[in-house]
Amino acid sequence: MQRLPIAVLCLLLTPMLGQAQISRALERMEEQVRRSRDQMREMNERMQKDREEMNRAMQEAATALGQEGAIQRPGSSPVFASPLSQNDLDSGGLMLPRGDIKHSQGERLKVRDQDGNSVVGKLHVRVGDSNIVMLPDGMLKVFSNTEATPTEDNFVPLDMDAIEERLLQDPRLAGFKTIRSRRFLYVYNTSELFVRSSRTILESMYPAVQKYFKRSKVDVHEPELPLVVIAFATEDQFQEYRRMPRGVVAYYDGISNAVMFYERSALSQHAPEIAVKNAISTIAHEGAHQILHNIGVQQRLSKWPMWLSEGLAEFYAPTSVAKGVKWSGLGSPNELRMFEISKSWESDRSFGSGRVVRDLTNANELSSLDYAYSWGLVHMLSRRHQKELFACIAQCSELKPLDGTDLATTGVVDSDDVFSKHFGDQYSELEQELKKHLLSLNYVDPVANQTHYLVITGGRVIMTSSPESVKEIQRSSFGKVSIKRFPNRAAAELAMQSLTR
């Protein structure tokens, strides 16, 4: 594909006269060839750099989700008593002793809220002498028996005005703006475009998710509390609000019931379209967790099999940025996950043996590739085994707070049992069915489908998908460049061939 740069070809066509002129021309030509070799080397280096940047960015996008398991899984260490919870989740982690778990029968308790006011909270679950109580703003907090008095008064959740007021009093959110939709409250200092895109996604996703469950045996209801989304402009502000492991770009917090995320990531310099797609699908993913935990599908602090909980969130998360940022609809192929799966198939030919599905459905921790397979598995089951999938979800939606966590002494659910109970244990057959299903999906490679640029400067033509690289070339050529833009890599390659032919 890389041919001689144009300048050399042009020189060859120039008519030359006289011996002296010919030798000068030959010297010039040699000089040109030397230069073009240098340019070619430079171009190769740039393409290599672009590729590395892209891989790094994709890796970053992939780890963002892989990290998530560490934060929001009740039962994994950060949420409960452990050194990590004190450092990493200072205000959010629930410190609990091990002990007998007693499920709530809807008991109400008089407790002091964050401001010291006496309020009526709702018992969420009891562990030993500790009561996990839901406060009127939706926050879960631990109270000892001496700090909580039983009451017959009603639990009255705060409305959106009151929650907004409370949030804006937080000095870490000073100067933040708010917008609302019917069920969501957004507190943000991001760009308007970003927060409004997020709102569009969550608002269109909510009814679709709710409708999806109407066909199942799971009773869904309207959320009891407004769904809070806090959007930070930068990673620093996001980290300042609550310290998170590196790589986390968004999370649903089961303790406060809010979704947090930030707008800018390193990805946006080199692959802005993938960055937007990734950011938006992460929001959709976390939003799906939040919705499922508020409409009665998942009980807060219950422990679902990871593949199902994450697979469902990914199943609802696909987004498209083709014509403005939008949610592409429940169950459409998730391009970012498909990209990861197809890359792994290039290096691992053993897929189909049953090992991946068996390990995945038994896992308590997921890698980013596992997230991709969880998406694929839920997608396949939803299309090909919907009745069984609904039965499986219905069983899990009965899981009560702390059931299945290592704090519990009863109600422990083995992930693998849940899967094999509903789908059998013919893992190899299921995995081959999964492969067949994924191959049948109409999938567009998100990397090749980005905007690509041809940058023409002097005798050089450089192809890149990174706007940052375009700027760099512009700077180093003192602005003497012509830039052509193409909707995808194939179109850019075609144009490049005709330019350098």
Binding site for Zn ion (CB under 5 A): 68, 310, 313
User: Closest separation between CB of residue 253 and Zn ion, Å?
Assistant: 12
Rounded to the nearest 5 degrees, what angle is found at the Cα of 236, between the Cα atoms of 232 and 237?
Answer: 40
Residue nearer to Zn ion on the CB measure, 306 or 462: 306
User: Closest separation between CB of residue 65 and Zn ion, Å?
Assistant: 7
Q: What is the 3-class SS of 22-50, one letter each residue?
A: HHHHHHHHHHHHHHHHHHHHHHHHHHHHH
Q: How far is CA 20 from the centre of its chain?
A: 66
Residue nearer to Zn ion on the CB measure, 306 or 408: 306
The candidate with the shortest Cα–Cα distance to 110, out of 158, 149, 157, 140, is 149
User: Closest separation between CB of residue 154 and Zn ion, Å?
Assistant: 33
Residue nearer to Zn ion on the CB measure, 173 or 283: 283
Beta-bridge partner residues of 229:
186, 259
The candidate with the shortest Cα–Cα distance to 328, out of 470, 208, 421, 186, is 208
Q: How far is CA 3 from the centre of its chain?
A: 40
Residue nearer to Zn ion on the CB measure, 79 or 313: 313
User: Closest separation between CB of residue 370 and Zn ion, Å?
Assistant: 11
Rounded Cα–Cα distance for residues 50 and 276 (Å): 18
Residue nearer to Zn ion on the CB measure, 68 or 107: 68
User: Closest separation between CB of residue 66 and Zn ion, Å?
Assistant: 10
Torsion sign over Cα 138, 143, 148, 152 = positive
User: Closest separation between CB of residue 178 and Zn ion, Å?
Assistant: 25
User: Closest separation between CB of residue 371 and Zn ion, Å?
Assistant: 8
Residue nearer to Zn ion on the CB measure, 107 or 310: 310
Rounded to the nearest 5 degrees, what angle is found at the Cα of 74, between the Cα atoms of 253 and 134?
Answer: 60
Residue nearer to Zn ion on the CB measure, 289 or 460: 289
